[in-house]
Structure 1
Amino acid sequence: MKFDLHTHHFRCGHADGNISDYIEAGIAAGLSVIGISDHTPYFGSKEDQAHPRIAMAKSAFAGYVEEVLSLKQKYAGKIDVLLGIESDYFPEHVEIYRDILSQYPFDYVIGSVHSVKDVSIFNKNRWKRLSTEEQIADKEAYYELIRNSARSGMFQILGHIDAMKGNYPAFSDIPATAAIDETLQVIADHKVAIEINTSGKTKLSGGWYPADSILERALHYGVEVTFGSDAHIPSRVGDEWDDVAARLREIGFDHWVYFKNKQKVSVPL
């Protein structure tokens, strides 16, 4: 049984296609379940669309939910369409996000950290002229945010937990093993899943998030895993699903999960 819980569409301003395009791509890819999970609006600002190339407008949010729910009905019997959302974790705005997201019938919410110290994790210039100690501090700050996102209780899934390597592959070599292990333990304790996200191939790092070494430790700590292509074009829906499943079996996982009505559904590998 194939599923993909991480897809976007035009509302976020940096993806192509309508929601139905991604659903049709999911059917073509042999998926049984597809989750639509575009970026939330930036609720920390009074502006309707504070970041038009990053996140949808507040005024588009209710329409997004309504469209997904309508398409869920339209495609019933062909593919199970799930209502998801990808939400940034901003410590200073947690309660605003919690309140707004609780008002809608999401099947799941993906919590992702996209900025550390107010700089995008994908900004490779952030690493210029940093000492080893400063690099370690930034990496540890990233994982502290991920730990706190797991503790928040807002999310069923944590997105791309080593994506800071995306445009700076050397990130993986910055020593912070203790921070990663602590993070995996916290994720396990709070029963949040992590995604294997295959969009790393679209960045300088290549491959997927997280690295095999993190997945091996995730298994050790009892962290459950799910799948997300993080597709921003319909042709990437389900991308590398079979390869990820095979690698997880090699590592020692015997199942992965998805979420419906915020309840975990286990799928054998």
Structure 2
Amino acid sequence: MKFDFHTHHHRCGHARGEIRDYIEAAIKNGLDIIGISDHSPHFASEEDQPFPLITMGKSHFPEYVAEVLQLKEEYKGKIEVLLGVESDFFPEHAEVYRRNYESYPFDYVIGSVHYVDGINIFKKDRWEGLSNKQKLVTKETYYDLIEQSARSGMFQILGHIDAMKGFYPEFSSIQTEALERTLKVIGEYDIAIEINTSGNTKYCGGWYPADDILEMALSYGVKVTFGSDAHDPERVGEDFEAVRQRLKEIGFQEWVYFKEKQRFSVPI
């Protein structure tokens, strides 16, 4: 079985193409399942769309869901289309997000930490001028937020769990036990993590998470799935077979997918 659960489209303001384009790309690339998971609105904001180049507006959300559900029906028999969303995680606003998601028939919700200390993790200059101690605290705060997201019960999948290295590859070499503690909690709460191939589009190259993190995740019984994080239809399913092979080499025997928030396992 071949799938991709992490895709975006034009509504988020920084991706190219319509939802249909991603579905057609998935069919062309031989996928059995394609998940649509655009960025969640900033539900806690008083403004409808405070960041139009980062995520859709709150008023766009119902139409987004309706379009995916309509395409799900249209493409029956050709490919299975799943309704997902990539959710930001702000602990102080978690219940606001939870209530919004409960109103819709999501197959899965990806929980991704994009902000640490109020700054986007992909902001290229966020590390400039920080001491080693401050860098350590930043990394530990990042993993504390991911741990909280695992405990929240809101998500089936946790997104790109070492993506803070995207524009700062040195992030990976900051030594802390926070990562291992977080993986242990993810395993205990039985949440899946994705292998996300969009690291290829950043300075760090490669995938999220790195192989050593995947090895540790396996030791804690963490389930895995696949997402390209495509912001362009041309990237749908990117590196799927390479990821499959690498997971086998690490020792994984299965990976998972979700329908109606129920988890299913398939051999790798």
Q: Please give the TM-score of this superposition, normalised by the length of structure 1.
A: 0.99
One-letter identity of the residue aligned with 1:106: F
Supply the distance in 2 between the matched residues of 1:126 and 1:83 (Cα, whole angstroms): 33
Match of 2:142 in 1: 142
Match of 1:108 in 2: 108
Off by >2 Å, runs of 4+ in structure 1: none
Match of 1:238 in 2: 237
Match of 2:220 in 1: 221
Alignment of 1:30-179 (within 5 A): 30-176=30-176, 178-179=177-178
Supply the distance in 2 between the matched residues of 1:4 and 1:12 (Cα, whole angstroms): 18
One-letter identity of the residue aligned with 1:266: S
Q: Which runs of 5+ in 2 are unaligned?
A: none
Shift of 1:132: 1.1
Shift of 1:44: 1.3
One-letter identity of the residue aligned with 1:156: Q
Match of 2:256 in 1: 257
Per-residue displacement from partner, 1:180-226 (whole Å, max 9, x unpaired)? 11000100111100000000010000001000000000000000000
Match of 2:22 in 1: 22
Match of 2:179 in 1: 180
Q: Secondary structure at the match of 2:125?
A: helix
Per-residue displacement from partner, 1:232-267 (whole Å, max 9, x unpaired)? 000000000000000000000000001110000111
Supply the distance in 1 between the matched residues of 2:55 and 2:123 (Cα, whole angstroms): 17
One-letter identity of the residue aligned with 2:8: H
Q: CA RMSD in A?
A: 0.5
Supply the distance in 2 between the matched residues of 1:199 and 1:88 (Cα, whole angstroms): 17
Supply the distance in 2 between the matched residues of 1:41 and 1:189 (Cα, whole angstroms): 29
Supply the distance in 2 between the matched residues of 1:63 and 1:128 (Cα, whole angstroms): 40
Shift of 1:124: 2.6
Supply the distance in 1 between the matched residues of 2:230 and 2:91 (Cα, whole angstroms): 27
One-letter identity of the residue aligned with 2:219: H
Supply the distance in 2 between the matched residues of 1:12 and 1:223 (Cα, whole angstroms): 30
One-letter identity of the residue aligned with 1:43: F
Supply the distance in 2 between the matched residues of 1:5 and 1:258 (Cα, whole angstroms): 8
1:248 maps onto 2:225 in alignment: no
Q: How many residues align?
A: 268
1:206 maps onto 2:171 in alignment: no
Per-residue displacement from partner, 1:38-71 (whole Å, max 9, x unpaired)? 0011111111111100000111100000000000
One-letter identity of the residue aligned with 1:131: S
One-letter identity of the residue aligned with 2:99: D
Supply the distance in 2 between the matched residues of 1:188 and 1:119 (Cα, whole angstroms): 28
Per-residue displacement from partner, 1:124-182 (whole Å, max 9, x unpaired)? 31111211111110000000000000000000000000000000000001111x11110
Q: Please give the TM-score of this superposition, normalised by the length of structure 2.
A: 0.99
